[in-house]
Structure 1
Amino acid sequence: MAERPDEGVEMLETPSGDGDGVSSGEDKSGHSSSSDSEQDEEAENIQIDALEKAVQENPANYEAHVQYIQCLRKFCNTEKLRQARKSMSELFPLSPKMWIEWANDEITLHSSIEAVPVIEEIYENGVHEYLSVPLWLDYLRFIEEHDQSVAQCAPAGVSKMRNLYERAISAAGLHVTEGSKIWDAYREFEEAILLTMDDSNSEDKAKQINRVRSLFQRQLSIPLADLNSTFLTYKQWEIGLGNACENSSDELDVIPKSVASAYQRALDMYNARVSYEDQLSASNSADSDRIQHFMSYIKFEDSSGHPARVQTLYERAISEFPISSDLWLEYTSYMDKTLKIPTVLKDVYSRATRNCSWIGTLWVQYLLSLERIAASEKELSAVFEQSLQCAFSSFNEYLDLFVTRVDSLRRRISSCGLKDDGLDYSLIRATFERATEYLSLEGIGMEDSLHLHDYWARLEMDLGKDLIAARGVWESLLKKSGAVLEAWKGYIDMEIRLGNTNEARSIYKRCYSKKFVGNGSEDICHSWLRFERQFGSLDDYDLAMKKVMPRLKELSMFRMQQASKTGFPSTVPNNDANARTPSKKRKMTDGSMEKQLSAKRQKDVLPGRESHPGSAQKSGPVDDTQMVTFIPTVLPKSNKSETKIEQAAGDSVSKGDAPTFYTDQCTVFVSNLSLEVNENHLGEFFNDVGGVTAIRLLKDKFTGRPRGFAYVDFSDDEHLHLAIAKNRQTLLGKRLSIARSDPKQGQKKGLTRGGFAGGRGRRAASVEDEDHGRGERQDRSSIKSASHRRGGHVQLTGSATFAVPRSVRPLGWSSSEAKPADGEEQPKSNQEFRSLLMKK
């Protein structure tokens, strides 16, 4: 505890004593004493000035305020000390110890009656901050001694003192270990009044006796420490009045049965709480342990169903740990659910935000609590403005505050329907405008900004009834984030939702040619085409096709150029809807390899395809969602060993792209993945194994969502076997299946069943993807149904082809197909058909 105030005053008065005393170290002229005093005073001023400057430069520095006040109190600079305490109390809640020091210093400096209201205000502020029995006792003692109306037992003074004691009982009377001190002081006050009464006034004296008896009985019904001592005092008091026999065999006979029963229950309750109190009183407990003890105690007390005692425990906890945000969050949540008293809720939330002003969640709960108790707009606005002055750890906390404020305004405006309590939609608009100015896109992120503007635009329509303002919201976002695809989509969706198809079409015309991140440029083109199918006329659709198709070709060429520069295939889909371009052969850097491949190209092209990789089939406009099918590529065999090449996953490679090839020489196949798993999750999962070189997560080609399968490449077999050992372990709630990827088996099945030659694609290799069963069935059906439909012709394979009518057989045969058997009718050339017609 800091130095007592009377000692400080003595320090201040000592240098100005009678002036006759001289220390042994000073000379006859007294110059040495004067010089030392000046040096001490100069050192004090330097220290005070340094601390004062620190407080002024950083008012939020709590420790600087404390040190400044301690220094001023030590050197008895009373004027600056009073101002420093006032300044700090406006910014921070002071501890009970600091309030007691402040009040005692003022009592020492000002003993006049005029100073009583000022000191009383200090005590009031102190007991409001935290639960402190010593502070309450000091406050009660001060009023009894210095308030003249109380000291003279005037009716007004007695009434004032009783009200103050009842407040103290409500605040601290349930404190198990210290609450009895308040009860004892209250009872002693009433007994003192009883002693001053004249015996002639029997009626008033009887009322006073009953008042003292009532205090005894109230105290005996509460589980407090020293309860047995209180009972003995009560017994002696009743014996003194002649209402009980001192030699009674049963000590409970001296009190009424109802009081005895309440006393016995209070004893049992106290005994049940002794173990919790012992844990809290242990001096060697760490802070974290003490907080846990408090929470266990609170949980036990809550089970007894007495909210007032739970509240007292919370108050005891926060008085010891005032900046524990978790404690305040628990406390305020409990008060919201249980003690829904407006004045109490306001007081608790006000203190919570003063102690932990940097916790945005507390401010949000404060605003919601005020709305629940139907606080006025003035109160809500004041709390909201106060919250914006605080320093939070992230912009999202400010965003949450703005949205909470808008939510409250929307609910109240929608419910009242009138401009009640100063409510008007202009308040919502002003809040949104402040939010966009206050928050930056870098701070809250694009997704949060989109939600904010979407909410704003919707309220402009629903409550503001202003379509122009709603469009202005989206236009303002596009000015700042015009390169973000979602901003344009949100604007378009609003117009479609309102039925404004022409306006939506005009927005598509503005943005279809813009450059967006990833596949965004292609997505907006296809979105426009889908829009015209659903809402537009044929002319509108044709116009959209005319605009979109050149753009898609341009994007496709750009992706191919980028892929050729980087040496990696483009992952952006080729969405040329006017022509189907056959898959490109992988370019070989070695000229000899190119020569070896040139002889095989005719065989490698599937039926219905042009043999030249650069040629395209000529057809009319087709649907933009059609997909170009790959042609598997045959790679030359190595002289040393045959390397099996497998094509990248069909789902992870977008439609129309050149296929990506992987050699699964040291790869595991992971199945039964949660759809929430991404590459980072898998990387962390195999982090203890090590040696991961690549992770390939299979995704749906249409939706882009994960399918629950992945390939993980490792640097060597040692790491591979360690990875396989993690089979059946759990990741994000799903038990994984991990096996070595075997492209040879899938390649053989592809050759025998589907007629493919060369590398194995991920689609063909889905035998192992789909738990080694389902994928095989899918491969057969996809190969039979898809790979034999080329250029509008149908070719059937299998045992039932003998029954196929000639009318559905292809007119021409590729070099890789079997020639017709002898005796079958050969297809006629164009010249032969001409000759037949001319003869006829």
Structure 2
Amino acid sequence: MAASSNAEQTQLQDMDEEDAGMEEREMDSDEGEEDGMGEENSDDEEDDSSEDEKENEAEIQRLEEQLSINAFDYNCHVDLIKLLKQEGELLRLRKARQKMSELFPLTEEIWLDWLKDEIRLSEEEPNREKVYELFEKAVKDYICPDIWLEYAQYSIGGMGSPGGIDKVRAIFERAVTAVGLHMTKGQFVWEAYREFENAILSTLQPPPGRIPSREEKELLNAQLGRIHTLFRRQLAIPLMEMEATYAEYEEWSEDGVPETAAHQYKKASLQMAKCKPFEDSLLVAETPKLAEYQAYLDFELKEGDPARVQITFERTMAENCLVPDMWAKYNNYLDRQLKIKDLVLSTHERAVRNCPWTMGLWKSYLLALERHGADHHTVSDVFEKALNAGFIQATDYVEIWQAFLDYLRRRVDFSKESSKELEELRGAFSRSLDYMKQDVEERFGESGDPSCLIMQNWARIEALHCKNIQKARELWDSIMTKGNAKYANMWLEYYNLERSYGDPVHCRKALHRAVQCTSDYPEHVCEVLLTFERVEGSLEDWDMAVQKTGTRLNRVNEQRAKAAEKEANMARQEDERNDNRRKAKSEKKVQKKFQKGSRVGEKRKAEQDDYHDEWNEDPEQAPKRQRGNRDQTTEESMETEAGQFGRKPPPGYKPAPPGAKKAQHGALGDAPKRSDDKPELRNDDSSVFISNLMYTLEEPEEKLRTLFEICGPIKQIRPVFGTKGTFKGYGYLQFESPVSVPEALKLDRREVEGRPMFVSPCVDKNKNPDFKVFKYNITLEKQKIFISGLPFSCTKEQLEEVCKSHGVIKEVRLVTYRSGKPKGLAYVEFADEAQASQAVLKMDGMEIEGNKITVAISNPPRRNLSDRPGSSRDMADLMPRQAYGSRGRGRTQLSLLPRSLHRQSAPVGKVENGTTSGGQAANAAGETKPLSNSDFARMLLSK
């Protein structure tokens, strides 16, 4: 049988060789036929490939140069690694990956690619230890089941070496400890562990028919016990597909599942049922799933199992590695609950590597190092890294310096007059002051420590611990020269220091200087001085204190009186300006009404003349004209016209469209009503004002109803039309309930036919003349960034795609003109200020469609006082504009007012300058009386 099978195999091998020879000959003939074309195509492909290689090499060099300038450009590292991998530059690729891993934690995908490449290289150059070292670095960045599984499987390849099996088991034990509780991926590690042990078991099984020795039985039983233990350990943990593992155990075990294992399985199943809703929400949620993980963490923290809390935190951080608040929460839990040194310090280190711009993480890292007894060199190195992390606020540098100085102070033994630690502390204080002056002020343009907190702490340490009050006084002199001498609290702080560690003489000097210099609360320091002299001083000291405090308070009261008088004058001038504005506005309104009345009168007279001419024409033509007019109008419009004119309307009259009939009068309920109209009650609480719509908007009422019906039941819609029936671009909308108004206001800036629609509260300007609405915040918003220099073609979706890699985006707003055209500006709001800060660091200077953008934290400039409600402009703004333009006097000097309004004098009893002379010219208060319609009529008819 064996011989025949070998012969068959030899025959099949010969047949395969013949077939291969025939295929080679056919391929040679085909190549000979296509020789001419093949050479041309190969030349073209070589040219294209060489050009691509040149372009890729140029891009690689550009990326390397950019990284030499800014080594913290994360995206540049990623692009360089992709290009080097595409070109097959393995040595350069290894260096690029190493440089990136020194600065940033690598993602799971980058680590797996790197590990697979190194594994292939190790097959050519056997050096498994380097690969093991790389795996050790990979498992420290994030808790990743796939990397642990790859690590364990790679270690199986070295089980033939001395101690190889024990090493594989050790790696598997570390893997199940690290990720064995991972509810969705942990079972894969457990299954791989069991498969390995089952493979070992198969090698220990004796051949059929041979009785194993005593040693072989012991080894076999020990291996069976290992597999039993693995099954029981896995079934005691809530994992996905637990039922399949339980069935596998029943099938594998000859004696069935032990009772204790079944009990643990039921308990884990109940826990799995509790966690199932959270796992389901994670499956359907979109990355980064922060809210879902937060709810999961709250549940696990309430349950109180430290191991499960830790694995849930690790899963959260793997997808939210740039959220400083989550790192802070994780670190706080480890510091207070687990307190395991290696775990705590490694987590703090990962936190600052992921979010180096967050000062709070560095501060907690320094405290954790001190708490767990790290050596001084390690703490100092971490502090130096923190200084180079690039914080976004000047105050952050003050806090990190204070944390380090507190650490140095706790190292000093003040029972000794001099020590190395004390000199190091003083040197650090001196260096911190130089750093704040030279580095922080130059970078931020402001002092991060205006109250000199660092110098105050230094002075306290010198006075309290070192008994060096003279050094403390020198420091306080420097503090006062930095603009703090005008604050009472600073002087009282210095006084308390002298009171505790100095002498009464210097206390008295400090208080006398405080009385002379304090400008915010001088009464308080005067009272402190008098109290001090009442307890410590002589009669001469008391008299001097009374004299100085009295003189100072008198001067302060005079200054306050002058300031109050100045403020009252400004308020009076403000009231006068407001009165002048109101008078000018009322006069302009009367003048406009007068001009409009004169034009309407002339127009009506002309129409009446035409009307009479029409009825005086040929009788035969009159019926034709009547029929033509009747054909052009409906019965409803004829009834409306008859009711308006009392007879047939004059020629040329065009009725307004039906939709504009009621809206011509403007706001809700404020138009004059006919006696047969039903009254409509105005309710501003349930109304909104809509503006900035297109004048060419067709059927505006239906359009607005479609837009706003999602906000609530609508009572009425009043689009405003002009006298010719054209839509004026604004209108009013009233809901059935005021509850719908906030929902309607959310539609503000909604784009309607390419133009942003403005929605604002409906407010009676007669009752609230200074009411203004400004939708957006005008103060510093740390969680929002401002982008300028965008191309006008950039859309909201494109900008959101660019920004979403830097954090969770809550809102993207493109700034446009009233016409809807973009300004090239945008605001992007992130979930928190850390993400916004990261976006500023990464996006500032980025190019979008050839435009170099500028990115900064949103901090709009203050609006002018004249734009605020209740404020007024300068008097210069209230002066009438000059009649001279940029090119001299205007082309025409004709006045648009009737001559009668220009008369400066008139007989008594006649109307002059809009008022009547004599007894009716002025009232007792000296105010002019407004003209009536009859007064204006007399002025027009006067010659």
Matched with 1:497 is 500
Contact 1:26 1:33 in 2 (8 A): no
Q: 1 CA distance for matches of 2:317 and 2:60?
A: 32
For 1:180, the equivalent position in structure 2 comes to: 187
Deviations 1:808-831 (A, max 9, x none): xxxxxxxxxxxxxxxxxxxxxxxx
1:461 touches 1:470 (CA, 8 Å); kept in 2? yes
Name 2:403's counterpart in structure 1. Answer: 404
Contact 1:187 1:215 in 2 (8 A): yes
Kindly state the Cα deviation for residue 66 of structure 1 after the two structures are TM-superposed. Answer: 0.8
Once the two structures are overlaid, the 10-residue window that deviates more, 370-379 or 437-446, is: 437-446
- How far apart are the structure 1 equivalents of 2:452 and 2:335? 32
Could you tell me which runs of 5 or more consecutive residues in structure 1 were left unpaired when the two chains were aligned: 1-17, 245-253, 571-687, 689-714, 723-840
Q: Once superposed, what is the RMSD of the aligned Cα atoms?
A: 3.7
CA 1:483 to 1:213, structure 2 compared with 1: closer, same or farther past 3 Å? same
Given that 2:436 and 2:447 are in contact with CA atoms closer than 8 Å, whether structure 1 keeps it comes out as no
Partner-residue secondary structure (3-state), 1:222: coil
Question: In 1, Cα distance between the equivalents of 2:569 and 2:534?
Answer: 35
Cα separation, 1, equivalents of 2:114 and 2:351: 23
Q: What aligned pairs does 1:720-799 form with structure 2 within 5 A after superposition?
A: none
Within-5 A mapping of 1:152-551:
152=161, 154=162, 156-197=163-204, 198=206, 199-200=212-213, 201-239=216-254, 244=255, 254-282=256-284, 285-287=285-287, 290-411=289-410, 413=412, 424-439=421-436, 449-481=451-483, 483-486=485-488, 487-508=490-511, 513-514=516-517, 517-518=519-520, 528-544=529-545
**Deviations for 1:214-241, whole angstroms, at most 9, x for unmatched residues?**
11111121111222222222222223xx
Structure 1 residues 276 and 55: CA distance shift in structure 2, 3 A: same
Cα–Cα, structure 1 residues 286 and 255, in superposed 2: closer, same or farther, change >3 Å? closer
- Tell me if structure 1 keeps the 8 A contact 2:67–2:73: yes
Equivalent residues, number: 537
1:138 corresponds to 2:146:
no
Q: 1:569-718, aligned counterparts within 5 Å? A: 718=767
Deviation at 1:169, TM superposition (A): 0.6
Cα distance, 1:493 vs structure 2: 3.0
Measured after TM superposition, the shift of residue 69 of structure 1 is 0.9
For the structure 1 residues 217 and 475, does the alpha-carbon distance in structure 2 shift closer, same or farther, using more than 3 Å as the test? same
Residues of 1 paired with 2:144 and 2:565: CA distance?
A: 76
Deviates more, 1:501-510 or 1:469-478: 501-510
Per-residue deviation, 1:359: 1.4
Asked whether the equivalents of residues 469 and 501 of structure 2 are also in contact (C-alpha less than 8 Å), the reply is no
Q: Name the structure 2 match of 1:151.
A: 160
- Distance (Å, rounded) in 2 between the aligned partners of 1:484 and 1:394: 26
Q: What is the distance in 2 between the residues matched to 1:365 and 1:437?
A: 24
Note the C-alpha offset of 1:104: 0.9
Please give the secondary structure, in 2, of the residue aligned with 1:174: coil
8 Å contact kept, 1:457–1:471: yes
Cα 1:419–1:62 change in 2 (3 A) is farther
- 1:120: which partner in 2? 132
Match of 2:88 among 54, 76, 85: 76
Contact 2:335 2:368 in 1 (8 A): yes
CA deviation profile, 1:602-658 (whole Å, cap 9, x unmatched): xxxxxxxxxxxxxxxxxxxxxxxxxxxxxxxxxxxxxxxxxxxxxxxxxxxxxxxxx
Distance 1:555 1:269 in 2: 73
Q: Deviations over 1:60-103 (max 9, x none)?
A: 22111111111111111222211111111011000011011011
* Amino acid of the structure 1 residue aligned with 2:160: A
User: Alpha carbons of 1:418 and 1:151: their partners in 2 closer, same or farther (altered >3 Å)?
Assistant: farther
SS in 2 for 1:323: coil
SS of 1:439's equivalent in the other structure is: helix
Q: Is the 8 A contact 2:287 2:319 kept in 1?
A: no
Name the CA distance, whole Å, in 2 between partners of 1:108 and 1:474.
67
In 2, Cα distance between equivalents of 1:488 and 1:564: 30
Note closer, same or farther for the CA distance 1:304–1:523 as it changes in structure 2 (3 Å cut). Answer: closer
Q: Aligned partners of 1:477 and 1:449: how far apart in 2?
A: 8
1:50 and 2:53 matched: no
Contact 1:425 1:464 in 2 (8 A): no
Q: CA deviation at 1:175?
A: 0.9
Distance in 2 of aligned mates of 1:23 and 1:69: 39
- Distance apart, 1:718 and its partner CA: 3.3
TM-score by length of 2: 0.52
- Label 1:134 to 1:566 Cα distance change in 2 as closer, same or farther (>3 A): closer
- Matched residues in 2 for 1:216 and 1:417: separation? 61
Distance 1:157 1:77 in 2: 33
Deviation per CA, 1:375-411: give whole Å up to 9, x if none: 3333333322222221222222222222223333444
Give CA deviations for 1:95-149 in whole Å, capped at 9, x if unaligned. 011011011112223424543222222211111111111111111111212x2xx
CA distance in 1, matches of 2:371, 2:397: 21
Question: Shift in Å at residue 450 of structure 1?
Answer: 4.2
Q: From the superposition, tell whether residues 24 and 119 of structure 1 become closer, same or farther in structure 2 (CA, over 3 Å).
A: farther
Alpha-carbon contact 1:495-1:503 (below 8 Å) kept:
yes
Q: Which amino acid aligns with 1:286?
A: E
Distance 1:554 1:270 in 2: 77
Which of 71, 89, 100 matches 1:59? 71
Q: Structure 1 residues 524, 302: closer, same or farther in 2, change over 3 A?
A: closer
Unmatched tracts of structure 2, length 5 or more: 1-27, 207-211, 572-740, 742-763, 772-943
TM-score of the aligned structures, taking structure 1 as reference length: 0.58
- Secondary structure of the residue aligned to 2:72 is coil
The 1:184/1:555 distance shift into structure 2, 3 A limit, reads closer
The change in CA–CA distance for 1:64 and 1:31 in structure 2 (over 3 A counts) is: same
Q: Which residue of 2 aligns with 1:697?
A: none
Amino acid at match of 1:206: N
How far did 1:307 drift?
0.8
Name the counterpart of 2:645.
Answer: none
User: What's the offset of the Cα at 1:449?
Assistant: 2.6
Closer, same or farther: CA 112–29 of 1 in aligned 2, 3 Å: closer
DSSP-derived class of the 1:51 partner: helix
Q: How far apart, in 2, do the equivalents of 1:228 and 1:526 lie?
A: 80
